[in-house]
A and B are shown apart, each in its own frame.
Chain A
Amino acid sequence: MNEQLTTAERRKERIDRGIKVRTEGIYAVSSWQEVTYLVLPRLILIAGLLLLPLVIPSLYWKRVVSIAGIYALLALGFDFLAHFVGLVSLGGAFFIGVGGYTAAILDKSLGLSPALTIPMAAVGGAFICTLLLFPALPLRGVYFAIVTLMYPLALMRIIEALNIFGGTDGILGVSSFPNRWIEQYCIIFTVIFALFGLRRLVNEDIGLVFRGVKDNDQAVRASGLSITLYKAIAVFIASGLGSLGGAYLSHIYMWSGISQFALDFSVIPIAATVIGGGGTLVGPVLGCFFLVPISEWLREFGTLRIVFYSVILMAFIMFRSEGVMVYAQRKYHQFERWVKV
């Protein structure tokens, strides 16, 4: 009807869907429609992740799903730190490496089972990472990013130069999971719990403090809260997730070595966050489950792989820079219509 109008005369208007507004309050449980509106997207995500190991036939692609899960934990940590605490962290490789080595050392020296080493490496690795990053916590933005990028590079060279922890060979013969179903569902349940746990956390009171630190750190200090303490807690959470992924990585490859400090672990989570949509937490997870398989699939093209990979990334950044999930959530919650000016 508005086809004859020019852009000067009409404008697109975005309005929240009625059902979205209704389901925000306590009345959400009043009808099936509204319950479905709230639950369905979450249910599809959970069911989809849980079905992945069942529907994928080949062992090779099952392993790719596990790796994507590790990247998803890193991407969750990155998105949490960047969009809810204001710390841009390139420390993915650092977290993975510390967690991987911690798990391997616990496994080899104490002979513990993966059921114990993975949680212990997650907490222990988080302690180590937070302690090492503590001096960098007053930094912000790109400065924090540079420091976190230096740690994995430095640790890699230290292990190589001092020939500790197996040197360049790494630690071999780490015990594996009892069977591949446990291996697969271990990471998938972890990703689901981490995702929904973080989503809840950022809306709790302590989550508001984190967001306050990002928004206005001086006001947080004037409110009687130490910004260093809350940044440390946030780094602890994110590095714990990363270390957990690293410990898991050591156990599935039965090996831990300096290639766990590879920069892929720092960079791919950021690319996944860009594609998935920063600040949504679910976006980066989906981004990882999209990017990691694509990068594996592109291996067929040999060295051209990086070219295709870059083209896909550039296309996303240029045409959907807000990220898939931000776009999808807008379409889900709001409708658009033309209005006359």
Chain B
Amino acid sequence: MSGNDILQVIDVSKAFGGIQALLNVSFTVQQGEVFGIIGPNGSGKTTLINCITGFIKMNSGKVLYKGKEISNRAPNQIANLGVTRTFQIMRPYYSLPAYKNLVIPLFSPRARRTGGWRGGGKLGNRETVSIDILEEIGFERDSFVPYKLASTLPTGYLKRLELARCLALRPDVILCDEVFSGLSMSEIASMVPLIERLQMDGITLIMVEHRLRELFRVASRVMVLNFGQKLTEGIPEEVMQDERVKEAYLGPEKASDYI
């Protein structure tokens, strides 16, 4: 293991009753890279994210963050260490305006360490800081959008709000659970530069995705899961040439069988 590893996942297993959702999954993510996790439906991608961020207790295995074990800690403790996540099914605070949604993560111990009790330290109060974060993530500051109730926002903005909640914690790692899903092509096109910018800011990204083409634009390495087990790992082009990956995605029958 090189000194550049930020997150090591070692032999993580999780079973829901008789269903083995994850079986001995191991991978290592390096500081500053974009790491993709792909796989067919039900292959355990979201369960893996839930295990790493503490939302589900794993049965066995270890997660090391900067060399320190964080397995099975409470989700809020893990978030406070700088490992944050987005939810596939967006979880904004629907009854609050978008900018007030960010006041809550800005209230966390981690954000308070840098921002002080009033929120932003020299930058103003929490509401000012949250508008700044929202602008960074694509909410136009001078429009009505940041001030609208989250329940009235469309999917594209809610996905951005998920990312903004992570950014409010000044994270080191963001685990993105399908940030591209449910978005139109143009929305995705505006989202990709955002991901690239996060990477340039030194944030490590772990992305679970079904939109492979967009993922491969940003990811340097991908891992393939199938039925809870790791199939392979490598650079995107090589992984997609792998026969086992093709089989997992397309089924065992070869196209030639039908000709």
Contacts and interface: CB of A to CB of B under 8 A. Distances in A.
Given A205-B119, A224-B110, A219 B80 contact: no
A280 to B, nearest CB: 14
A224 B79 contact: yes
B103 interface: yes
Nearest to B110: A224
Interface stretch (A6-14, A64-72, A174-182, A206-214): A206-214
Interface of B: 53, 55, 74-76, 79-80, 84-85, 87, 91-96, 100, 103-111, 119, 126, 165, 168-169
Contacts of A4: none
A223 B83 CA distance: 10
A223 B169 contact: yes
B146 to A, nearest CB: 15
Contacts, number: 83
Contacts of B76: 220-227
Contacts of A219: 87, 91-93, 104, 165
Contact of B104 (A212, A218, A226): A212
A226 B74 contact: yes
Contacts of B55: 218, 221-222
A223 B78 CA distance: 10
Determine the main DSSP class of A at the interface with B. helix
Q: Which 3 A-B pairs have the closest CB atoms?
A: A224-B108, A224-B79, A223-B105
A218 B91 CA distance: 8
Nearest to A226: B76
B107 A205 contact: yes
Contact of B107 (A206, A216, A221): A206
A227 to B, nearest CB: 8
Contacts of B119: 205
A213 to B, nearest CB: 9
Given A215-B94, A218-B91, A208 B165 contact: no
B169 A215 contact: no
Nearest to A214: B95
A222 B74 contact: no
Given A222-B87, A223-B104, A223-B165, A216 B93 contact: yes
A66 B192 CA distance: 63
